[in-house]
């Protein structure tokens, strides 16, 4: 029986030709392809500027450095997210303040209010698995307390909040182009989206050794540059993003329909258009189910098995461990099912049949 993979990258003649175009150009770093990709990303997201970097982690690190983040600062983040969300903060000496999640797996905004102290400088809402938070509510909280907001859209390229594309709704948005993402460049990479022209100009310089001209270094910077081959591939992927996201939504709808009453399927708020970077169920006997599906040639994942407030890298620096009961319970129940932009409904049906077989319940 053919294996069903958890995710799949789109590779076509169009993608290959784009890579060859960049390869033949003779320019490989921050050239015309990168400039065009930045402009197309900005137009898609609805912002003035998108600044590419070699990874989400490093371009966000540079942003935080430009924001002046350092020791004594606190930034509110959900614990249930990929570790890189707070990794740049830790490197700069700031303290991530962890909050619990709601049933859509994004930060509980009631807890955000309670977590604010005089040391709080910002909020990073994570649109985990491709579902946004209530952005208006986050922005209201931030405005009341004079905080910045960075939308973590690493898993939410193309998602919408009240009809508007995420990433351009707050002070800054951050995207990842890792191979498994909805929008990938078939390599590593990330970008910052913003309407702040001054910060955008500084960020462009900081990623490239602090220079404007080839030999004019205004300040010490870094090498966090983007490459032309990945940019050319990203431009192709961006053209297909909405199409593939719609297919992800079709697969999610199929899972919702057929798995109802068997496992707990992920809810979607009425104001959200989620893009299902991952389709994550909550279920009983999770580890047994995962083993059963593997035996039936179906890949699954757990995103993420250990909350960040319990990671050794965090507890070694910040001994106080908050109580986050939802997060700690959810990580025992969550299972990511196969989903990608080219997946067929028939493949989703096979996954549903296997899950129904495990629980002794026939999918609807």
Q: Which domains does the chain have, with CATH numbers?
A: 13-235 (3.40.640.10), 241-359 (3.90.1150.10)
pTM of the model: 0.97
At 213 the pLDDT is: 84
Query: What confidence tens digit (pLDDT) does each residue in 224-268 have?
Result: 999 999 999 999 999 999 999 999 999 999 999 999 999 999 999
**What is the chain's mean pLDDT, rounded?**
97
At 181 the pLDDT is: 98
pLDDT beyond 90 at 1? no
Q: How confident is the model at residue 273 (pLDDT cuts 50, 70, 90)?
A: very high
At 73 the pLDDT is: 98
The three-point CA angle 204-208-211 to 5° equals 85
Query: What confidence tens digit (pLDDT) does each residue in 300-359 have?
Result: 999 999 999 999 999 999 988 999 999 999 999 999 999 999 999 999 999 999 999 999
At 328 the pLDDT is: 98
Query: What confidence tens digit (pLDDT) does each residue in 192-225 have?
Result: 999 999 999 999 999 999 998 889 999 999 999 9
Q: How confident is the model at residue 364 (pLDDT cuts 50, 70, 90)?
A: confident
pLDDT beyond 90 at 42? yes
At 209 the pLDDT is: 97
């Amino acid at each position: 029986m053919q294996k069903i993979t958890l995710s799949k990258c789109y590779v076509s003649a169009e993608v290959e030709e784009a890579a060859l175009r960049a390869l033949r150009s003779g320019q490989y770093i921050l050239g015309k392809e990168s400039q065009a990709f930045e402009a197309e990303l900005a137009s898609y997201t609805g912002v003035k500027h998108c600044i590419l970097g070699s990874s989400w982690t490093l371009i966000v690190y540079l942003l935080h450095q430009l924001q002046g983040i350092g020791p004594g600062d606190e930034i509110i983040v959900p614990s249930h997210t990929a570790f890189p969300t707070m990794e740049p903060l830790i490197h700069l000496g700031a303290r991530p303040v962890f909050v619990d999640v709601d049933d859509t797996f994004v930060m509980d905004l009631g807890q955000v209010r309670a977590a604010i102290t005089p040391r709080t400088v910002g909020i990073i809402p994570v649109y985990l698995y491709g579902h946004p938070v209530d952005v208006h509510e986050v922005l209201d909280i931030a405005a009341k307390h004079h905080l910045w907001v960075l939308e973590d859209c690493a898993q939410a390229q193309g998602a919408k909040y009240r009809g508007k594309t995420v990433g351009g709704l707050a002070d800054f948005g951050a995207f990842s182009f890792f191979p498994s993402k909805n929008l990938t460049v078939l390599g590593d990479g990330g970008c910052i989206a913003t309407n702040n022209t001054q910060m955008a100009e500084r960020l462009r310089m900081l990623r490239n050794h602090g220079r404007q001209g080839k030999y004019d270094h205004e300040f010490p910077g870094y090498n966090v540059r983007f490459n032309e081959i990945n940019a050319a591939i990203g431009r192709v992927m961006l053209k297909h993003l909405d199409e593939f996201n719609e297919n992800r939504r079709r697969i999610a709808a199929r899972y919702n329909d057929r798995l109802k009453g068997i496992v707990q399927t992920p809810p979607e708020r009425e104001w959200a258009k989620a893009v299902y970077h991952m389709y994550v169920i909550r279920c009983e006997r999770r580890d047994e189910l995962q083993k059963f599906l593997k035996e039936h040639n179906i890949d699954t994942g757990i995103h993420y098995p250990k909350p960040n407030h319990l990671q050794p890298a965090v507890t070694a620096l910040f001994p106080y461990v908050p109580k986050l009961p939802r997060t700690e319970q959810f990580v025992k129940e969550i299972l990511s099912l196969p989903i990608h932009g080219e997946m067929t409904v028939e493949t989703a049906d096979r996954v549903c049949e296997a899950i129904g077989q495990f629980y002794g319940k026939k999918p609807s």
